[in-house]
Structure 1
Amino acid sequence: MKIGYEMSLKQVQKLVITPELRQAITILQLPWMELEQYISEEMLENPLLEFKEKDEERGPDSADIQEQDELSPNEAEEKTNHDIDWQLYFEDASDIGYVAPRESRDEPEVSFESFISYVGTFHDYLMFQLHISSLGEDRMKIGALIIGGIDDDGYLRMKISEVAAMAGVSCAEAEKVLGVIQQFDPVGVGARTLEECLLIQLETLKATDSPSGRLELAEKLIKEHLDDVAQGGMVKIAEALEVGVLEVQDACDLVRTLDPKPGRQFGGERGPAYIEPDASIERVGGEYVVTVHDVSAPRLSINPLYRKMLSQVDCQQDGAVDYVKSKLNSALWLIRSIEQRRQTLQKVIECIVKFQRDFLDRGVKHLRPLTLEDVAREIGVHESTVSRATQGKYVATPRGTFELKFFFTSGIPTVYGKGASSESVKKMIREIIEGEDPKKPFSDRVISEMLREQGIIISRRTVAKYREEERIAASTLRKRFC
């Protein structure tokens, strides 16, 4: 057996993802807001790119410049000398007997745009209440440590012994300061457990309302039967406390009005998230028109100065020529990729409108089952292309704003041969539950049988799954005794 090295030439086919193709894939799956940021970053790196408005407007002083060019030098100088300073003219009010004080023009003008808006956090709000409280300076330091240990939900996640050790005081002193903080707004802040949080809120209700058996019973439920309240075991609670079921139900309703996470109403440090649709579907006459929103944005173009430089550059400057050519090819590919993204998104949404016409006309109950493969086959692209085109994008319709993935739903078999979408079945389940008798709520098996009567073949487990996805409680928790 001979062992050695040899050199051979072999030709094979291999799929290679080029940087340009990778960029096109990235651009396709970016929502419009992120695409704007991506374009801005590319413009910083590529000097050949620039925004080109739809209407190329002339400069603000182009007419004046043209007029001055037509004048002779003496006439232009005379016209400049006789120009009126309108700002000085309107500042002078001596003709009505008022002389305004002369302000120094060297002082910088303060604009409101220079100020940065600031929204206080949950902990800032607690510190503000601590500073206006009647606590002394030493206790305020203890209070600052306690507030630092409160999370965004409003619970104290530090042991009171740790706070006392850090402040160098006794646990009793730290408990007194904690009692003051627990009276701050929102009610229930500073609690260490769910039970303590609910009891603090209940004590506040006792202070504002006249004491009643309902409040006392609610306090017993929180202390002794909180798990049973969560599971809806009202009959079990009534037997244990030897009271009526209606009284227990009334007390449970009161407990459910309390906030288990008092700090979440501040929403943390992040502000509200807004959705910017990538496209809109509007009804014009009897048809639906799809508009991709990046159509109204300024278009990218190649800076003509660099084009001119490329045609006039000296051939000996190979480094500069290669640099400009590489940036030109990169800019052209970016422009082509953005236009390809717009066309693909337009085709995908138009295909969705074609398949989901009944939904746009009549509502969610008429949403049809649809897969990525159906759309890909219709518009002649790969399934992965449709998946990237619909990823994280929203569309505004006459029925509301929906994610594009919303229109792709699995199908439930029916006796009529055509499948029903999961979203339409969820809508039907919600309508059945909303129309039930609260004293005798429908179980999942009964709902399954009712849907079978309407021609939808669905199991009890699937009904339970869809009900939980719609955040609807089970029949035992929905039952009312009055």
Structure 2
Amino acid sequence: MALQQKLQVKLSHKLILTPSLQQALKMLPMSTVELADMMNQEMVENPLLDEAPIDESPPTDGVQQEEKGQEASTNLEASGADDTWDEADYEYFFGEYLDEGFRRQPNQGARDLPPLENTLSTASSLSDHLTWQLSSSQYTETIQEISAAIIGNLNEDGQLAASTEELCAMGSWSEGDVATALGIVQHFDPVGVAARNLQECLLLQLRHLGFAGTITERIVVDHLGLLQRRRLPDLAKILGLSVDETKQHVDVISHIDPKPG
């Protein structure tokens, strides 16, 4: 029997996390203090790294930033209009699909804090943190006032507890200005704060990590219901992927904190 050589071409979908995205996922749950410590450690270990000077000059594109904030907020509000936070238990959705290495670990840092600091209100700390970022920014007086109102209406999980109509009524503000201010606050640290529903919170963080326009984003935009019902085989069939390939995208989503507060 003669031996023959044949060339076969096989097309397949595969999600590849680049080193930069892997690092971004690792850094996402870190606090500002933890990020600063990590950066200092990297500079100690790598003498080729230099700390870039901070530009303290006033921004000249504040109007453009406000316009971008309004556009982003409007798009996300439209995409997540029918979604609510009570529709799902986040860890319950993803629990059986996650490898052990992807499971969220409890925050160990809080145990090491002095007793007094351990008793601080999470909501108060988040409010202070966001207010500090707002005071360091330069927007119009109206946007500053609306942003402060938004921060004041966040619950302990960082979710926005007031509707657009309620915010407008607080200061006779326009819906456009409210949308602009909301888009700005939602991109403060932690990204995803002030989201109005689960879908919006996931999308804000996915797009911040560079997953805009990917299958991972598509799952959240178009098929969050299937994900919530744990219908992974059905989701894979719709996407034209294998279950294992679909699971890789779900693994990325599972890293996102649904309650960034």
Q: Does 1:200 align with 2:204?
A: yes
Q: What is the match of residue 160 of structure 2?
A: 156
In structure 2, what residue type is equivalent to 1:124? D
Pick from 179, 186, 189: which aligns with 1:182?
186
Pick from 258, 261, 268: which aligns with 2:259?
261
Point out the structure with max Rg over C-alpha: 1
Pick from 166, 172, 195: which aligns with 1:191?
195
In structure 2, how many angstroms separate the alpha carbons of the residues matched to 1:167 and 1:151?
A: 20
Report the Cα offset of residue 197 of structure 1.
0.3
CA contact (8 A) 1:218 1:252 kept: yes
Report the Cα offset of residue 227 of structure 1.
3.0
Report the Cα offset of residue 226 of structure 1.
1.8
CA contact (8 A) 1:154 1:189 kept: yes
Identity of aligned residues (%): 35
Structure in which a larger fraction of residues adopt strand: 1
In structure 2, what residue type is equivalent to 1:157? A
Q: What is the match of residue 7 of structure 1?
A: none
TM-score, normalised to structure 2, is 0.50
Q: Secondary structure at the match of 1:151?
A: coil
In structure 1, what residue type is equivalent to 2:222? E
Q: What is the match of residue 144 of structure 1?
A: 148
RMSD of aligned alpha carbons: 2.2
In structure 1, what residue type is equivalent to 2:250? C
In structure 1, how many angstroms separate the alpha carbons of the residues matched to 2:176 and 2:132?
A: 24
In structure 1, how many angstroms separate the alpha carbons of the residues matched to 2:174 and 2:229?
A: 40
Report the Cα offset of residue 224 of structure 1.
2.0
Q: What is the match of residue 235 of structure 1?
A: 233
Q: Does 1:224 align with 2:247?
A: no
Report the Cα offset of residue 203 of structure 1.
0.8
1:319-349 Cα offsets, whole Å, 9 max, x none, are xxxxxxxxxxxxxxxxxxxxxxxxxxxxxxx
In structure 2, how many angstroms separate the alpha carbons of the residues matched to 1:239 and 1:153?
A: 34
Larger RCO: Structure 1 or Structure 2 (Cα < 8 Å, ≥ 6 residues apart)?
2
Q: Flag structure 2 segments of 5+ consecutive residues without an equivalent.
A: 1-115
Report the Cα offset of residue 165 of structure 1.
1.9
Report the Cα offset of residue 133 of structure 1.
1.4
Q: Secondary structure at the match of 1:262?
A: coil
Q: How many residues align structurally? A: 142
Report the Cα offset of residue 194 of structure 1.
0.3
In structure 2, how many angstroms separate the alpha carbons of the residues matched to 1:149 and 1:230?
A: 27
CA contact (8 A) 1:217 1:248 kept: no
Q: Flag structure 1 segments of 5+ consecutive residues without an equivalent.
A: 1-115, 264-482
Q: What is the match of residue 126 of structure 2?
A: 122
Pick from 172, 179, 187: which aligns with 1:168?
172
Report the Cα offset of residue 241 of structure 1.
2.1
Matches within 5 A, 1:46-65: none
1:346-391 Cα offsets, whole Å, 9 max, x none, are xxxxxxxxxxxxxxxxxxxxxxxxxxxxxxxxxxxxxxxxxxxxxx
Q: Secondary structure at the match of 2:214?
A: helix
